Amino acid sequence: MLDDSTILQRVAIGDQTAVDDCIEKYGGLIWSIGKRYLRDITDLEDVTQEVFIELWQTAKRFDPSLGSEPNFVALIARRRMVDRLRRRGTEQNRVPTESIDDVGEISVDVSERLTWGDEIERTVGCLEKLESVRKQVLVLHLRDGYSHGRISDALKLPLGTIKSHARRGLLQMQRCVGLHDAVRQVSSLANGELR
């Protein structure tokens, strides 16, 4: 049996045992992400299935040199959950997490801590260091899927200010987490500046 870090690579080459391994390893992660977005259990089950189908279809695109497998899975899961909310076009399915006025401490599900380990701990620590408004903007946008316009309405701040907080907050997070140099190097490689 191959190392767990290559489950999606095994799915991509048609290893039937990899599908079961993927469900076993990432089912809890996908479900916990989904509970933050969807209240209706039927919707949550449907979207969880959609996430796994997308994982099977996109397994060949996973490249361990660009990021970890749990991050790839979580990215697809979050995108699917937000897509479901947008398709519904309503707030009736939204799980209230924190009030907009008090984002407070960022909670991290136990299964996410076990799966992501140090990466998520470092990211949460960096997020906690941001100024209050910048932190609110990032949490509402990235975790809860709010558009910049909706955040602007909710926080009663101009749209340009929200976009500025989002951009500066992301840059601060990159520097804090240690991605700033990696992002700059990838950009340089893409532009042909480094050989």
Residue whose C-alpha is closest to residue 176's, from 122, 138, 131: 122
Spatial distance between the Cα atoms of 163 and 136, rounded to a whole number of angstroms: 12
For CA atoms 91, 130, 169, 55, give the dihedral sign. Answer: negative
How far is Cα 39 from Cα 25, in angstroms, rounded to an integer? Answer: 23
pLDDT band at 34 (very low <50, low <70, confident <90, very high): confident
Mean pLDDT of the chain: 75
At 122 the pLDDT is: 74
Set out the domains of the chain in order of their start, with CATH numbers.
Answer: 1-96 (1.10.1740.10), 104-183 (1.10.10.10)
DSSP-assigned states of every residue in 24-50: HHHHHHHHHHHHHH---HHHHHHHHHH
pLDDT at 190 over 80: no
pLDDT at 84: 84
Q: How confident is the model at residue 128, as a pLDDT?
A: 83
Q: Say whether pLDDT at 19 is over 50.
A: yes
Query: Between 63 and 107, where is the model more confident?
Result: 63
This model's pTM is above 0.75: no
Say if residues 32 and 73 touch (Cβ distance below 8 Å).
no
- Which amino acid, 74? A
Using left for φ > 0, alpha for ψ between -120 and 50, and beta otherwise, residue 14 falls in left
Average of pLDDT values for 59-67? Answer: 84
Comparing 33 with 180, the larger pLDDT belongs to 33
Distances in Å between the Cα of 33 and the Cα atoms of 75, 111, 144 are 10, 10, 10
- Per-residue model confidence (pLDDT) at position 98: 42
- Would you state the pLDDT for residue 179? 59
Q: What is the pLDDT of residue 118?
A: 59
Q: What tens digit of pLDDT does each residue of 147-181 get?
A: 888 888 888 999 999 999 988 988 888 888 775 55
- Express each pLDDT in 67-86 by its tens digit: 888 888 988 998 888 888 88
At residue 153's C-alpha, the angle toward residues 149 and 157, to 5°, is: 95
Cα 181 from chain centroid? 21
pLDDT in tens, 90-103: 444 444 444 444 44
pLDDT at 135 over 60: yes
16 φ/ψ angles, rounded to the nearest 5 degrees: -65, -30
